[in-house]
Amino acid sequence: MKKCSRCKCEKENNVFVIETNKKDGRKELCNECFIQLKQKRSEKRKEKLKTPAGRTAWDQYIILRREFRHTEKGKIKEKQYRENSKHKQQKYHQVYYQNNTEHIKARSIQWTKDNPEKKKQQRNKQNKKRQANIIHNFHDRIRKRLSRVLNEIGLKKESRTQHILGYSAQELFSHLAKYINQLCEDCNLILIKKENCCIDHIIPIGCAKTKEDVIRLNQLENLRLICKSCNLLKVTYDLRLIKGNK
């Protein structure tokens, strides 16, 4: 038991503020009093900052800088700074992740366990964002189709789509982008837009029987965009063709 110098109450030893210099490792001030004192001090300081007389040169500088950040010029400058230091920040995060991988993973698993609802919301939000991005959208369609086709011929998709097919999402998009805002190649009637297009395999992917076939038919030369109705027609026609061949 120990007496607090401020509130004059006798309390247990472990509720006093830690200070390693003292003999018993604690101050003669209890935690409650310490928090009250801190609040009082910060309020006093805030009060002081309101009038110009109470500010030091440093305070003045901080206030000016804060105000500058909210102006148009300041916003542009901050954006520029972020763009310029993007690489630096990425490197910093990479190094931090490498040094603390286990700790970060354990923390994220624990967080997921504690907040299942929040995690669900987060995932939905991410999915929506991903689908709205046309580059990811095209890539996702190819990815899903690829794993389905591989399943159909009795194989499993074991590595990432990029590694299997040898082109990135960006390359896929820049190949397909030339079909957007053009008339559909098959019917010559419908203007192709981001919302109504389908990725078509010129030689139908349904013919593939081995993994090599699948990779060959998924190369960029075999891919183009056509309208939804043409795609539907082609799918039924292709099915009949493939079934006839068998």
Interface map 26-65 toward Zn ion (x if CB under 5 A): ----x--x--------------------------------
Q: Please report whether residue 6 would count as binding Zn ion according to CB under 5 A.
A: yes
Closest contact distance (angstroms) between CB of 187 and Zn ion is: 3
Among 186, 207, 215, 238, the residue binding Zn ion under the rule CB under 5 A is 186
# residues contacting Zn ion (CB under 5 A)? 10
Residues 213-232 contacting Zn ion, CB under 5 A: 227, 230
Rounded CA separation 147/152 (Å)? 9
Q: Which residues pair with 32 in a beta bridge?
A: none
Report if residue 192 touches Zn ion, rule: CB under 5 A. no
Residue 82 as a binder of Zn ion (CB under 5 A): the answer is no
Q: Distance between alpha carbon 1 and the CA centroid of its chain, in Å?
A: 52
| CA pair distance 163, 178, nearest whole angstrom | 24
Where are the strands (E) in 31-179, listed by range? none
Asked whether 206 and 239 are in contact (CB, 8 A), the reply is yes
CB of 26 to Zn ion, least distance (A): 12
Q: What is the CA radius of gyration of the chain?
A: 32
**201, 223 in Cβ contact below 8 A?**
yes
Question: How many whole angstroms separate alpha carbon 78 and alpha carbon 70?
Answer: 10
Binding mask 98-137 for Zn ion (x = CB under 5 A): ----------------------------------------
d(C-alpha 115, C-alpha 107), whole Å: 12
Distant-in-sequence contacts of 84-92, Cβ < 8 A, 24+ apart: none
State the nearest-atom distance from the C-beta of 225 to Zn ion, in Å.
10
Residue 172 or 184 with smaller CB distance to Zn ion: 184
Kindly state the tokens that stand for 169.
Answer: 């999402």
Of 37 and 76, which CB lies nearer to Zn ion in the complex structure? 37
> Which of 146, 184, 217, 225 is close enough to bind Zn ion by CB under 5 A?
184
**Size of the chain in residues:** 246
Contacting residue, 155, 187, 202, 232, with Zn ion by CB under 5 A? 187
Nearer to Zn ion, 30 or 176 (CB): 30
Give the binding site for Zn ion (CB under 5 A): 4, 6-7, 30, 33, 184, 186-187, 227, 230
